[in-house]
Structure 1
Amino acid sequence: MLEVTALGWTLTIGVIVALLALDLTLGVLRPHAVGFREAALWSAFYIAVAVAFGVVFGMVANWDFGAQYFAGYIVEKSLSVDNLFVFVIIMSTFAVPEKYQQEVLTFGIIIALVLRVVFIAVGATLLNHFSFTFLLFGLLLIYTAIQLFRHRDEDPSIDDNPVVRAGRRFLPLTDKYSDGKMTVRIDGKRVFTPLFLVLIAIGGSDILFALDSIPAVFGVTDEAYIVFVANAFALLGLRALFFLVKGLLDRLVYLSTGLSLILAFIGVKLVLHWLHKDVSASVPEVSIGLSLGVILVVLVVTTVASLLKSRKDPDAKAHAGSVRVGSVSSSPDERDNQPR
């Protein structure tokens, strides 16, 4: 079992808060359109920080825990790419001006991180006290994987999001953006701008992402500290990654298929772990080495196959995938023609 001292937690949280503050400064206090070079440099920076942390962590703890961290980080990073699909859909649906997209993404990442901390705490408590939680998490991931595979050619509907619908129905809204502000005063009345509604949409989607990603990362490690840092470092680079790959997302046509395979694999791993722990020790478990290898192979094959498919068929477009029956958004072209 991994023992993390109070000083270790304090230093880790301090580093993450410092990186969040840096992201907040770049995304909110200095709004601007992000170019490819800037996005590439910041993406490389955040990945380098995550890798450096993993190396130091592996040397200080041991390399078994280090492997668990890297497996968790890769799982969360791959799932975050699917998150970017939804962010692109949200930005397109609400026609967010490019210079304000950083602000929305930064606040969305902060919301996601807070939600993940809550879900991690709840998940770790349940796993420590009720071993059948491994079975529940495993079945949830298998169900999610099946739904994602079945609806891999669809996109989640933002307009059907109950939180967004409620916001449009009950909040006083203006249809114009105003210098990146969430609220403005019109005729003496305080109203919300579309930017606030965008934040609601991203926050609502973050809840759904957490329901998938937290059980998934608990499938490669049951250490709450590793789950936390893997999520944190995967989310921290999301803002820069969005601007780096948003023009390439349409080419990852098999991403939803690959992610559904990864989620199904981790789901089966969790079920086997529960059977091994609570039913019979003769039931085999999946090692962390095998888990890391399967995840990497699926991601590499998915990426290469997607690029080959896009090259052969330029009209082939990728989709985020949907896990809810009947919750399908319109096509990108139709979204562009919808009234704002």
Structure 2
Amino acid sequence: MPTTTPLVWEATIALIVGLLAFDYFFHVRKAHAPGLREAAVWSALYVGIALLFGVAVWTWGGADMGAEYFSGYITEKALSIDNVFVFLVIMSSFRVPREDQQKVLLFGITFALIARTVFILLGAALIERFSWVFYLFGLALLVTAGNLLAPDGHDGDRPNVVVRLVRRVFHASPHYDGDRLFTTWQGKRALTPMLLVMLAIGGTDILFAFDSIPAIFGLTQNVFIVFTATAFSLLGLRQLYFLVGGLLERLVYLSIGLAAVLGFIGIKLVLHALHENNLPFINDGEPVPVIEISTWTSLVVIVAILLVTVVASLTSPKGKAKVAVSALRAKVADYLSLPADAAPAVRRAVFADLRGAQARVDALEPRFKAMVKRPDVLQHDLRCAHEAHAEATATPPQPSDLGLPPPADDGDDRHAPTA
């Protein structure tokens, strides 16, 4: 395997930083919500750049190195899609105006890249000094795989501990002031929800790094491949967010698929640790003769698991129900985030979209309505949107009851499937 020279490292880092800078100066600096065509074009461009980089690695480093890159990129891309799912929940819970979401996403991607780089360097240093770290990485991935199968694996709509602490210690405004991080509220300088949502996403990124870095080290210990596969999987997430949006919730078996991928890599890591074993209490400190899973086998297994996950999800009626509920939550959030001086035509158009989404949820079968997570919150927000529209347009309020079942008495719906 060829040595990665400083020049290759410098050129690669320059390319990644350049892509991030291009994103900021040409897309995010001016607040706007990308359309479907814009998101599709730029998503395809970023995936294309990642694939071309993989071809260059294959050509320069050989087939094995190329397979390691593509295995890592596909795995990290799948995990980054899980990031987007949680970003959607956080954006919805903070009711971030759609035109300002790009800046939040770019911050999240940049912070995720920095956090993962730190974890990559730490992981590489640990692996170089202590081969038994593979046991820890493998067990961590197996635990993560088990957690992904828990019904409440995506509870991102509860503000994390960082946000709760900041709100308790600092003066925070409940209102956005464009994309500003600070504003004046009640006569004092205050934090805006824009800063709080960035903190929430930053905290989430750190948690995701604990999953993604052991996963890719289970596929390759080449730091250059680990870094580039991780970086290129994160680039383009902003465009992917606007391309697929609520359709991510259509992937109802995504957690199961990711659990299978992480479980497989966890087993691969444990087998590798046994093969390199030097712990005195395991086989008297001698390597254990176990089978090792090759990079090519890993690539085939990962691709097969993700293909089955996508096909099973897209053919599921439950997926269609989740899309309908997700779309309604997004439309309600869009309406409630409208400024008080919004043009009547804009207000009517957004409300018409909301009504269409409401009709689709209202038409769901009772078994799917029973799967809606926190129905009381959704029903309350929908009622608020209807009341706000009636007041703003001086029209009678329209029916807003979705016929959703009440939440469990203890307020804990973690053991029920959700939509």
With normalisation by structure 1, the TM-score equals 0.91
Which structure would you say has the larger RCO, counting Cα contacts within 8 Å and 6 or more residues apart? 1
Deviations 1:166-200 (A, max 9, x none): 12211211111112111123466321110000000
User: Is 1:291–2:298 an aligned residue pair?
Assistant: yes
Tell me what 2:160 maps to.
161
User: Is 1:268–2:267 an aligned residue pair?
Assistant: yes
Report the AA paired with residue 239 of structure 2.
Answer: A
Structure 1 residues 276, 14: CA separation in 2 closer, same or farther (over 3 Å shift)? same
Write out aligned runs for 1:133-282 (5 A).
Answer: 133-149=133-149, 151-152=150-151, 154-186=153-185, 189-278=188-277, 279-280=286-287, 282=289
Q: Would you say the 8 A contact 1:24–1:106 is kept in 2?
A: yes
Q: Would you say the 8 A contact 2:36–2:242 is kept in 1?
A: yes
Work out the CA distance in 2 between the residues paired with 1:317 and 1:134: 39
Structure 1 residues 16, 333: CA separation in 2 closer, same or farther (over 3 Å shift)? farther
Work out the CA distance in 2 between the residues paired with 1:61 and 1:105: 33
Work out the CA distance in 2 between the residues paired with 1:137 and 1:38: 39
Two-structure CA RMSD over aligned residues (Å): 2.0
1:302 to 284, 300, 309: 309
Q: Which is worse superposed, 188-197 or 48-57?
A: 188-197
Work out the CA distance in 2 between the residues paired with 1:281 and 1:154: 35
Work out the CA distance in 2 between the residues paired with 1:280 and 1:318: 53
Report the AA paired with residue 307 of structure 1.
Answer: L
Q: Would you say the 8 A contact 1:253–1:318 is kept in 2?
A: no
Work out the CA distance in 1 between the residues paired with 2:232 and 2:309: 23
Structure 1 residues 185, 313: CA separation in 2 closer, same or farther (over 3 Å shift)? closer
Q: Would you say the 8 A contact 1:183–1:192 is kept in 2?
A: yes
Deviation at 1:62, TM superposition (A): 1.2
User: Is 1:315–2:314 an aligned residue pair?
Assistant: no
Tell me what 2:373 maps to.
331
Structure 1 residues 318, 57: CA separation in 2 closer, same or farther (over 3 Å shift)? farther
Deviation at 1:158, TM superposition (A): 3.7
Work out the CA distance in 2 between the residues paired with 1:334 and 1:84: 25
Q: Would you say the 8 A contact 2:120–2:226 is kept in 1?
A: yes
Deviation at 1:58, TM superposition (A): 1.0
Report the AA paired with residue 285 of structure 1.
Answer: E
Q: Would you say the 8 A contact 2:249–2:319 is kept in 1?
A: no
Deviation at 1:30, TM superposition (A): 1.7
Deviation at 1:316, TM superposition (A): 4.9
In structure 1, the gaps of 5 or more residues are: 320-329
Work out the CA distance in 2 between the residues paired with 1:313 and 1:18: 38
Report the AA paired with residue 9 of structure 1.
Answer: W
Q: Would you say the 8 A contact 2:176–2:193 is kept in 1?
A: yes
Q: Would you say the 8 A contact 1:27–1:103 is kept in 2?
A: no
Rg larger for: 2
Q: How many residues align?
A: 327
Deviations 1:276-323 (A, max 9, x none): 11143521100000100010000000000001113x77325699xxxx
Work out the CA distance in 1 between the residues paired with 2:265 and 2:151: 19
Q: Would you say the 8 A contact 2:271–2:292 is kept in 1?
A: yes
Report the AA paired with residue 197 of structure 1.
Answer: L
Q: Would you say the 8 A contact 1:152–1:256 is kept in 2?
A: no
In structure 2, the gaps of 5 or more residues are: 278-285, 326-371, 385-419
Deviations 1:44-72 (A, max 9, x none): 00000000000011101111111100000
Work out the CA distance in 1 between the residues paired with 2:9 and 2:167: 41
Structure 1 residues 65, 139: CA separation in 2 closer, same or farther (over 3 Å shift)? same
Structure 1 residues 318, 231: CA separation in 2 closer, same or farther (over 3 Å shift)? farther
Deviation at 1:86, TM superposition (A): 0.4
Work out the CA distance in 2 between the residues paired with 1:41 and 1:73: 20
Tell me what 2:40 maps to.
40
With normalisation by structure 2, the TM-score equals 0.75
Q: Would you say the 8 A contact 2:90–2:156 is kept in 1?
A: no
Deviations 1:72-127 (A, max 9, x none): 00000000111111000001000000000000000111111000110000000001
Work out the CA distance in 2 between the residues paired with 1:28 and 1:313: 31
Structure 1 residues 56, 161: CA separation in 2 closer, same or farther (over 3 Å shift)? same
Deviations 1:118-140 (A, max 9, x none): 00000000011000001100000
Q: Would you say the 8 A contact 1:109–1:235 is kept in 2?
A: yes
Work out the CA distance in 2 between the residues paired with 1:335 and 1:75: 34
SS at match of 1:314: helix
